[in-house]
Each structure stands twice: as structure tokens, then as C-alpha cells.
Amino acid sequence: MPTPFTEPPASALSRRGFLKIGFGLSAALACAGLVPALSGCSPEQKQPATGMQFLREGDVALFTALLPAVVAELAERGQRELQLSHAVANVDATCAAMDANARAALRKLLDLLAIGPLRWALAGVGQDWREADTQQARRFLARWRASRFATLNAGAVVLVKLSSVGYYLLPAAWAGSGYPGPNPAVFRALHA
């Protein structure tokens, strides 16, 4: 008879104990299978958004919310929706051109920001990115830049760089950045 201070021998595991352990592991596996669906990571949502190579629907909403917070002139100019869609397409093309390791790391970041409770806890944005306004996006980026955690700092840098590059690839944005555009003679020579 084992005392409270000694461990029973391994052979003492009863059939009932074995069934309890099996049931517990089965329940844990079942819960692990449900978590992705409950958190918005169901297989249907793992496909890129229509017309995109890498970005999913939630990622498109994220960058649509972040772009006006990163690029001030975008919020004030005409044809805002068209510029936003072109800039998000540029972000998608940039992400798709990354190597596999960079895409995997970026996917983890974007998936983290897609899960409602984690988005609220880490980014301070409780609602979906489609409903977030420019001020909320600015506060989120400022919060991550000022964080004492290097991972959040790096995440903010990546999101800002992707957003700004996506916008400043647009020819309409060149004048605002002081870039006069490519030299016409060189452009014709390279693209002839």
C-alpha cells in the first residue's frame, strides 16, 4: 500500500486510470482541433483573398486600416479607395515575393492580429480591423513601437514598412515623396 509520500509503482496503473488518461488526452486533442475554428483560423479562411497571392481577407482589412495611419496623405487625397486597393495589392505582391521563412514569420504575426481576444490584448483593438478607424490604428502602432518587448517593436516596423512600401510604389505617390519618377530614357531602354 503506497503512502501519501511515495509514488505507486508503474504497474499499479489500473484499467480505470488508463481510461481516464485516454479520455483526457482525447478531450485535449478534440479541443486543440476546435481552437483554430473558434479563433478564425478555419481551413476556409486559410486561402488568400480574391485577387491576392498571400494576404487573406483579414490581412486585407488590417492593411486597409493601417495604410491611412502610416501614410498621412492617403487619408486626405481623392480616389482614396482606389489608392488603398492598389497599395494593398502592392503589399500582397511584396509578401508573396518574400522567402518561405519570412512569409512564415509574417503569417504568424498576421494570424496573431486576426484573433479577436489576442488583437484586443496586444493591439488594443477590440473590434474587427474593418471597423477600426485611423486613430485606433495609430495608437496600435505607437503602442507596439513603445513596447519593451522587441518582438512587438519588430512587428510594428514590419507592418509600417510593408504599408509604406505598398503605398510609395504607386506612381501617384511619387510626387508626394519628392521622387520625380524614373528617367524616361532609362525606363524605355530597360522596358523595350
pLDDT digit string (tens) for the chain, length 192 residues: 555 555 555 444 566 655 555 555 555 555 555 555 555 555 456 888 888 899 999 999 999 999 999 987 765 556 788 888 999 999 999 999 999 999 999 999 999 888 888 888 888 888 888 999 999 999 999 999 998 888 888 999 999 999 999 998 888 888 777 788 778 888 788 877
pTM passes above 0.75: no
Q: Where are the domains of the chain?
A: 49-168
Q: For residues 113 and 41, is the Cβ–Cβ distance under 8 A?
A: no
The CA R_g of the chain, rounded to the nearest whole Å, is: 24
Dihedral sign from CA coordinates of 187, 73, 50, 120:
positive
pLDDT for 16 equals 64
Amino acid letter for position 49: A
For 81, the grid coordinates are: 479607395
HSE, side-chain direction, 13 A CA sphere, residue 91: 27
Q: Backbone phi, then psi, for 162, in 5-degree steps?
A: -60, -40
